Structure 1
Amino acid sequence: MSRRTILVTGASAGIGAALARVYASEGWNVVLTARREPPLRALADQIEAAHGVTAAVVTEDLADPAAPERLVATLASRGLTIDGLVNNAGFSRVTGFLQTSLADHRAMLQVMLIAPAELSRLLLPGMVERGFGRVLNVASVAGHLPATGGDTLYGPIKSFLIKASQGLHLETQGTGVHVTVINPGYTLTEFHDVNGSRAEVSKAYPAWMWMTADRVARIGFAACEANRPQVTPGPMNTVLVALARHLPEGLALKMAAGHARRLARI
């Protein structure tokens, strides 16, 4: 039997790179995509050497509205059949809604909301037709919590991804396709370096609240294989999500405001 192949977006670092390594360790060939080619090439070489699978690289900027269709066309031109999809690419802007440019807002929505929906729509029919597929969407604990002032769109976008994943999970039941959404909390990656909040979050939240990207990736892989609709890694994150379902809105908003103050963003 030929190896399965999974496409991982945002694979150049963090949870995306960790998920690529986990799938490769389980015998999957991987296709790595992100904007930066050098880290993708380095990861591909590492994966092939460590696991004896094929790791292909396709550089693409999902902020371009044409990128999802172009990416899928590139895969087809290379003769690659995609059996799995990890929608991981993402970033945040913590400078405040009014202080962030319209272009940055548009890019965030394109990369984190529209691109996952389009890639899922483009690749799922083939998975259903073949009777096998895996879709793992990387959301966030933030998708279950009130939106944070200063990082206004991030939580709502992740909420969309959670709800959309739940719908796809139900829609693909009995087809051999598993759809799971994972909701990480604070994870040790370069995410907070990129958005400029590393110093604030490191000071505001103790080390025991953080998880490694590899641990998050392993939990996501296992949940998707088990066809769970969603998973929240870590007991503290699970408690936060449970609390969010039951707290009065006023209290929840006060907690979100306190979070923003700790990050010194508003």
Structure 2
Amino acid sequence: MARRLALITGASAGIGAASARIYASHGYDVALTARRADRLEGLAAEIKLRSGVEAYALPADLADPAGVDAVLAGIAEQGRVVDALVNNAGYGLPGTFATTSWADQATFLQVMLTSVCEMTHKVLPGMVERRFGRIVNVASLAGLVPGAAGHTLYAATKGFLVKFSQSLHLENLATGVHVSALCPGFTYSEFHDVNGTRDQVSQGVPEWMWLGADEVAAAGYEAAEANRPICVPGAPNKALAAIAKVVPDDWALALMASQGSRFRKV
């Protein structure tokens, strides 16, 4: 039987690249998409050599409304279909809502929400028809705790992905399609370098709160296989998520007000 294919967005670094390696190690061919073609081609070559599977580099910008169709067209040109989808592409947009441009916020929503929903909507029917599918939406611990000042839409979009994943999970209990929201906390990757908060988080976040991208990606893979709708990797993050459910909202919001500036540019 032909190998299944996993599509990973935001695959050029961090959790995305780690997810590609994880799926390849479990015998999946992988389709890799992100903006940086050189990174994708290097990762594809590494995966082919290391895991002996096929790896397709499909550069695309999901900020472009045509980006999803471009990626799926590239997969179709190879005569392939998507059996597993890791919606990982994303970034942070520093600043407050009033001091950032709407153009930047609209682009953020396109990448973080619209492209995720569109990609999922376009691959899900085929998964249902074939009675097999795995979908991992990379959300965040930020989607499970109160919002903070700065990066205004980040927690909101991640909270959306959690609810989106829960609904998809319930809708597909009898279809063979497993859906999980992966909700990592602080993860060693390029995320904070890109948005300019590396110094802040390095100084403000203790080492025991950090996880490696490989650990997070492995947890996401295992959650999807087990069909767990929410996965929070790491004991400290699990504890924080549990506490957020029981602490009164005004207490939690006050804590975010006092601590949020350690982690975000406002």
- State the partner residue of 2:259: 259
Secondary structure of residue in 1 paired with 2:57 = strand
More displaced stretch, 76-85 vs 30-39: 76-85
> How far, CA to CA, are the matches of 1:129 and 1:79 in structure 2?
17
* Identity, % of aligned positions: 51
Aligned residue identity for 2:192: H
1:227 and 2:244 matched: no
Whether the 8 Å CA contact 2:9–2:89 is kept in 1: the answer is yes
Whether the 8 Å CA contact 2:197–2:264 is kept in 1: the answer is no
> How far, CA to CA, are the matches of 2:107 and 2:100 in structure 1?
11
> How far, CA to CA, are the matches of 1:260 and 1:206 in structure 2?
14
1:8 and 2:17 matched: no
- State the partner residue of 1:40: 40
Aligned residue identity for 1:260: G
Structure 1 residue 264, shift from structure 2 partner:
6.6
More displaced stretch, 2-11 vs 66-75: 66-75
- TM-score, scaled relative to structure 1: 0.97
1:58 and 2:58 matched: yes
Structure 1 residue 76, shift from structure 2 partner:
1.4
The Cα offsets for residues 119-158 of structure 1, whole Å up to 9 and x where unpaired, read as 1100000010011111011000000111111111000000
- State the partner residue of 1:106: 106
Structure 1 residue 99, shift from structure 2 partner:
2.1
Aligned residue identity for 2:232: T
> How far, CA to CA, are the matches of 1:81 and 1:263 in structure 2?
40
**Structure 2 counterparts to residues 21-100 of structure 1, below 5 A:** 21-100=21-100
The Cα offsets for residues 79-124 of structure 1, whole Å up to 9 and x where unpaired, read as 1111110000000112222222212111110111111111110000
- State the partner residue of 1:159: 159
Aligned residue identity for 1:178: H
Structure 1 residue 172, shift from structure 2 partner:
0.7
- State the partner residue of 2:120: 120
The Cα offsets for residues 61-87 of structure 1, whole Å up to 9 and x where unpaired, read as 101112112322232122111111000
> How far, CA to CA, are the matches of 2:177 and 2:90 in structure 1?
24
Structure 1 residue 162, shift from structure 2 partner:
0.4
Structure 1 residue 27, shift from structure 2 partner:
0.5
Deviation >4 Å, runs of 4+: none
Secondary structure of residue in 2 paired with 1:56 = strand
> How far, CA to CA, are the matches of 1:67 and 1:186 in structure 2?
28
**Structure 2 counterparts to residues 210-249 of structure 1, below 5 A:** 210-249=210-249
> How far, CA to CA, are the matches of 2:84 and 2:264 in structure 1?
39
Number of equivalenced pairs: 266
> How far, CA to CA, are the matches of 1:220 and 1:264 in structure 2?
25
Secondary structure of residue in 2 paired with 1:82 = coil
> How far, CA to CA, are the matches of 1:224 and 1:263 in structure 2?
29
> How far, CA to CA, are the matches of 1:265 and 1:119 in structure 2?
30
Structure 1 residue 244, shift from structure 2 partner:
1.0
Q: 1:237 to 1:134 in 2, by over 3 A?
A: same
Secondary structure of residue in 2 paired with 1:122 = helix
> How far, CA to CA, are the matches of 2:236 and 2:244 in structure 1?
12
Aligned residue identity for 1:235: A
> How far, CA to CA, are the matches of 1:211 and 1:169 in structure 2?
26
Aligned residue identity for 1:41: E
